[in-house]
Amino acid sequence: MQFQPSDDQQMLRAMVRQFVEQEARPTVAERDEQALWPGELVRKMGELGLMGVAVSEEYGGAALDYMSYAIVIEELSRVDASLGVIASVNNSLVCYGIEKFGSDAQRQELLIPLASGRALGAFSLSEPGAGSDAAAQKTTAVRDGDDYVINGVKNWVTNGDHADTIILMTMTDPSKGAKGITAFLADTRAPGCSIVKVENKLGIRSAHSCQMAYDSFRVPAWRRLGEEGQGFKIAMTVLNAGRIGIAAQALGIAQGAYEAALAYTKVREQFGKPIHEFQAVGFTLADMATRIKAARLLTYEAAWRKDQGLDYVKDASMAKLFASETAMWVATKAIQLHGSNGYSKEYPVERNFRDAKITEIYEGTSEIQRLVISREITKG
Ligand code: CAA
């Protein structure tokens, strides 16, 4: 058993840290405040190989392992959780899905630009009436000659307004329930695809979440991902991997909030001494550090299991559940340790607190993670 990242993984961490400290930190508060899309940073992330970390070189990726991917998302999110989710969706929900389930033509034509950062991907499963109950898809796809014609409304599409290719889940046979769901690689520039709204959100404001409509939207059959009826399985498979990414995002948010709190308690003096010297503060820092370490071990182990080809459904859900609840807990405590200053936008912990909340919700709520874990540990 090895608990130490390899030399290459440590170099990768240092590279991503330098990138976000130099290029993202100076503008993160403004981008959050104004919900500004970080287009230039996303372009640079592509150049650095961060948009297709675990995709093979043949298909434009950096050909690293999932441990490395977790480190990338953690380091991006330590400074800017919006960059974390933009990269996570492209890496694990989109690129992984196309590499695993796509045809050779789809990999050549669509995966290479996505993994190399020349194009951006999104993943579209949620609908107004299909959140946790992901199988309740109402968006329809009907075969018409060499095309499918798609009608429906999707929401919470991360990257939606900047994406080139969207993994779009539709219902092709409602009588079959989950087995009637079919996935497509939709070209967002084709007629019939429109952005209804970009959500005005509590956190991760610089990563855009969109409601999108499809009105007689035609997708050529070669863009169908997998077989008809395979869509739900594809969605669940990429979400298993995506949950490692969101666990890593939550871990990064927690780490950023903890570092800010630690630094603050060393310089903030009350009653004649730095406040970390008070036992109540010191113990809070100790609990933060301990929970973050536990979240990191869970997250890395889930990634390691995926790298080993072991089953990791339960492990990814455990990592996401624990890391997201840790992020929320740590960010709440980080504000408390800052006192009134923590409530001000002048300090980063207020943003960490708002960003942390979504990690308990998207890619499966904490309740859904508990459902997945309980099913896994009681089956057989
Ligand atoms: N991995 C692989 N396969 C899975 C799976 C998993 N984690 N979970 C279910 N499946 C398979 C089952 O094995 C089953 O296949 P078979 O019929 O061949 O046996 C099939 O899928 C149906 O499974 P269930 O009967 O268990 O399905 P269910 O309707 O009871 O729902 C659920 C299961 C776990 C609740 C699922 O609906 C779920 O994960 N819901 C949460 C959805 C979610 O995470 N949404 C996030 C959207 S993406 C997002 O957040 C936006 C973004 O851009 C970040």
- Using a 6 Å cutoff on CB, does residue 369 contact ligand 1? no
Compute the distance from residue 236 Cα to the ligand 1 centre, in Å: 5
* Ligand 1 atom with the shortest distance to the CA of 361: 50
Indicate the pLDDT class of residue 88, thresholds 50, 70 and 90.
very high
pLDDT digits (tens, 9 = 90+) for 156-178: 999 999 999 999 999 999 999 99
- Using a 6 Å cutoff on CB, does residue 158 contact ligand 1? yes
Mean pLDDT, rounded, for 111-121? 98
Q: How far apart are CA 198 and CA 221, in angstroms?
A: 29
pLDDT at 204 over 90: yes
Whose CA is closest to 337, among 289, 279, 285? Answer: 285
- Using a 6 Å cutoff on CB, does residue 212 contact ligand 1? no
pLDDT reported for residue 162 = 98
Whole-Å CA distances, 365 to 55, 138, 320, 357, 360: 27, 21, 9, 11, 5
Percent of the chain with pLDDT over 70: 100
Per residue, the 3-state secondary structure of 97-133, as one string, reads HHHHHCCHHHHHHHHHHHHCCCCCEEEECCECCECCC
pLDDT reported for residue 344 = 97
pLDDT at 63 over 80: yes
pLDDT at 124 over 90: yes
Instruction: Report the mean per-residue pLDDT for the chain.
Output: 98
User: Which residue's CA is the nearest one to ligand 1's atom 17?
Assistant: 179
Compute the distance from residue 179 Cα to the ligand 1 centre, in Å: 11
- Determine if the pTM surpasses 0.85: yes
Q: How far apart are CA 178 and CA 230, in angstroms?
A: 9
Compute the distance from residue 362 Cα to the ligand 1 centre, in Å: 13
Do 298 and 318 contact (CB within 8 A), yes or no?
Answer: yes
pLDDT digits (tens, 9 = 90+) for 340-371: 999 999 999 999 999 999 999 999 999 999 99
pLDDT reported for residue 271 = 98
Mean pLDDT, rounded, for 284-305? 98
pLDDT at 269 over 90: yes
User: Which residue's CA is the nearest one to ligand 1's atom 21?
Assistant: 233
- Using a 6 Å cutoff on CB, does residue 178 contact ligand 1? yes
Whose CA is closest to 251, among 27, 88, 26? Answer: 88
Q: What is the DSSP string of 234-275?
A: HHHHHHHHHHHHHHHHHHHHHHHHHHHHHHHHHH-EETTEEG
Whose CA is closest to 245, among 16, 87, 37, 41? Answer: 87
Tokens of 329: 């807990």
Q: How far apart are CA 182 and CA 170, in angstroms?
A: 5
Question: What phi and psi, each to the nearest 5 degrees, are found at residue 312?
Answer: -140, 15
What are residue 141's DSSP bridge partners?
Answer: 150
Compute the distance from residue 372 Cα to the ligand 1 centre, in Å: 9
- Using a 6 Å cutoff on CB, does residue 232 contact ligand 1? yes
Q: How far apart are CA 169 and CA 152, in angstroms?
A: 10
Tokens of 45: 């992330």
pLDDT at 380 over 90: no
Q: How far apart are CA 221 and CA 230, in angstroms?
A: 15
**Which residues are known to be catalytic?**
363
pLDDT reported for residue 191 = 98
Reported in sequence order, the residue ranges of the chain that DSSP labels E, i.e. its strands, are: 121-124, 140-144, 147-158, 165-171, 181-187, 193-198, 209-220, 224-225, 269-270, 273-274
Q: Is beta strand 147-158 parallel, antiparallel or unpaired with respect to 165-171? A: unpaired
Compute the distance from residue 149 Cα to the ligand 1 centre, in Å: 25
Indicate the pLDDT class of residue 50, thresholds 50, 70 and 90.
very high
pLDDT at 1 over 80: no
pLDDT at 2 over 90: no
Q: How far apart are CA 284 and CA 107, in angstroms?
A: 48
pLDDT at 114 over 90: yes
User: Which residue's CA is the nearest one to ligand 1's atom 19?
Assistant: 233
pLDDT at 278 over 90: yes
Q: Name the amino acid, one letter, at 317.
A: S
Question: Could you tell which of 198, 239, 310, 372 is best to mutate to test the pocket of ligand 1, judged by most ligand atoms within 8 Å of the CB?
Answer: 239
pLDDT at 3 over 90: no
